[in-house]
């Protein structure tokens, strides 16, 4: 019963966290494009800025959380302390139209600065605040699983975890995404409330275990010593560099994600069809996740991930056909993508179930956050 309760609260937290994280990357590019933002600016706000925080904030938070001790644990305090600021960032993004109109009227009325320019600037600032505070949460949230979930259930838990995430994303894309342009404010406000209340309840219900004293217990804090320790322990073992390079190449490939919605629109699909396509993909992955976790636990996540790599390359190359083929009617393209989603779902589900348990098997358990931070760097 204790394990079931633990799974239940962690999965509830995943539901709230997934819906919150789905809002910004899916809606903000549309808002920026409606303000006539250039492609490079959209890429800078949606990819470059989070990447900068990922290479600076994530390693520091990961390193510190491994060595932090409190009655609330070593992960949850980093989440709860930034929770109000993250929710406020979502509210500010949702109210950006009203705020930009007020700022333009107050500071630039009668000047040469357009209200759209003010809105883009404010959105960049608000999105930067969101990325900053969300990095504290995203950096340590997944480390919590390594600390509280028994090792022999990790892949099964990750399968259920991904299942909840996929269902949450599918529900958002199927029912909510079509209102992205007409009800942006309401969507952002709803995400802020759900995250603050729902995710906050999870933090109160999940209890971390007692940890042994950190290796630098009793020493005076030193940033220089922390940097040296982080670099020496994380990058002096050649075995881990292979894993680091895999992550680098995957991150480069995923940098095109903010423009995917524009690609679909160029194929004459409206937001309703795009949302349904994403939802169908999510549902088929969810079906596969219901049984794949037990298989990954039995066959070992490292072995499963190794076999999935070559298949991922084939799928990526298959997607390039649309660079050379003539543009089909939107309905033909839609059903072609649906068919591809069905075949890809099993591989995606196995990858989702195996990815984090693979890292938990490879990285040292007492310094799991540190090595994940080094990986993100």
Domain count, the chain: 1
The answer to whether 7 and 154 are in contact (CB under 8 A) is: no
pTM score, whole prediction = 0.73
Residues 345, 301: Cα–Cα separation, whole Å: 17
Domain assignment present for 214: no
The CATH number that applies at residue 155 is: 1.20.1250.20
Mean pLDDT by 10 residues, the chain (377 residues): 89 89 86 86 85 85 87 88 92 91 82 83 92 88 86 81 81 83 89 92 89 79 83 85 83 75 78 78 76 81 83 74 73 76 76 80 84 80
Residues 377, 373: Cα–Cα separation, whole Å: 6
- Best CA proximity match to 350, nearest among 193, 156, 206, 207: 156
Residue 242 token pair:
């292979």
Range of the domain at 186: 2-207+220-376
The answer to whether 27 and 109 are in contact (CB under 8 A) is: no
Angle formed at CA 154 by CA 151 and CA 157, multiple of 5 degrees: 145
Domain assignment present for 308: yes
Q: What values do phi and psi take at 182, rounded to 5?
A: -95, -25
pLDDT value at position 126? 93
Domain assignment present for 10: yes
H runs (alpha helix) in the chain: 2-34, 39-43, 49-67, 76-94, 96-107, 115-148, 154-171, 184-194, 200-205, 223-235, 238-254, 260-266, 271-299, 301-319, 330-362, 368-376
Domain assignment present for 348: yes
pLDDT value at position 371? 87
pLDDT value at position 19? 87
pLDDT value at position 193? 94
pLDDT value at position 59? 87
How far is C-alpha 62 from the chain's CA centre?
16
* Distances from the Cα of 109 to the Cα of 103, 112, 119, 288, angstroms: 9, 8, 14, 56
pLDDT value at position 326? 72
Domain assignment present for 212: no
How far is C-alpha 56 from the chain's CA centre?
17
* Distances from the Cα of 183 to the Cα of 31, 94, 186, 263, angstroms: 11, 9, 6, 23
Residues 33, 277: Cα–Cα separation, whole Å: 22
Domain assignment present for 200: yes
Domain assignment present for 290: yes
Domain assignment present for 153: yes
User: Could you give the angle at which helices 2-34 and 184-194 cross, rounded to 10 degrees?
Assistant: 160
User: Could you give the angle at which helices 49-67 and 368-376 cross, rounded to 10 degrees?
Assistant: 160
CB pairs under 8 A, 24+ apart, for 336-339?
337/277, 338/277, 338/280
């Amino acid at each position: 019963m204790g394990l079931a309760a633990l799974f239940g609260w962690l999965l509830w937290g995943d539901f709230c966290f997934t819906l919150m994280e789905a809002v910004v990357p899916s809606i903000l590019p549309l808002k920026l494009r409606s303000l006539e933002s250039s492609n490079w600016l959209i890429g800078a706000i949606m990819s470059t800025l989070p990447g900068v925080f990922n290479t600076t904030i994530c390693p520091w938070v990961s390193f510190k959380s491994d060595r932090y001790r409190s009655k609330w644990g070593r992960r949850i305090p980093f989440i709860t302390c930034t929770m109000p600021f993250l929710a406020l960032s979502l509210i500010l993004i949702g109210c950006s139209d009203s705020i930009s109109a007020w700022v333009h009227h107050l500071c630039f009325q009668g000047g040469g600065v357009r209200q759209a320019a003010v809105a883009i600037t404010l959105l960049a600032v608000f999105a930067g605040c969101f990325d900053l505070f969300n990095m504290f949460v995203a950096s340590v949230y997944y480390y919590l699983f390594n600390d509280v979930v028994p090792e022999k259930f990790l892949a099964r838990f990750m399968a259920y975890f991904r299942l909840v995430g996929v269902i949450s994303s599918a529900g958002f894309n199927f029912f909510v995404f079509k209102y992205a342009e007409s009800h942006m404010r309401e969507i952002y406000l709803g995400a802020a409330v759900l995250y603050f209340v729902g995710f906050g309840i999870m933090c109160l219900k999940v209890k971390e275990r007692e940890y042994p004293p950190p290796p630098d217990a009793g020493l005076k804090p030193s940033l220089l010593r922390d940097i040296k320790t982080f670099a020496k322990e994380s990058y002096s073992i050649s075995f881990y560099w292979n894993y680091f390079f895999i992550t680098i190449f995957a991150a480069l490939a995923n940098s095109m994600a903010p423009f995917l919605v524009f690609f679909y629109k160029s194929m004459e699909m409206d937001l309703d069809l795009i949302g349904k396509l994403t939802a169908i993909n999510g549902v088929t992955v969810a079906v596969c996740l219901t049984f794949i976790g037990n298989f990954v636990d039995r066959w070992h996540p490292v072995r499963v991930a190794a076999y999935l790599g070559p298949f991922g390359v084939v799928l990526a190359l298959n997607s390039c056909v649309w660079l050379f083929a003539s543009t089909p009617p939107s309905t033909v393209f839609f059903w072609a993508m649906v068919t591809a989603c069905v075949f890809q779902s099993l591989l995606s589900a196995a990858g989702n179930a195996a990815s984090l348990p693979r890292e938990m098997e490879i990285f040292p358990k007492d310094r799991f956050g540190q090595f994940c931070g080094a990986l993100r760097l």
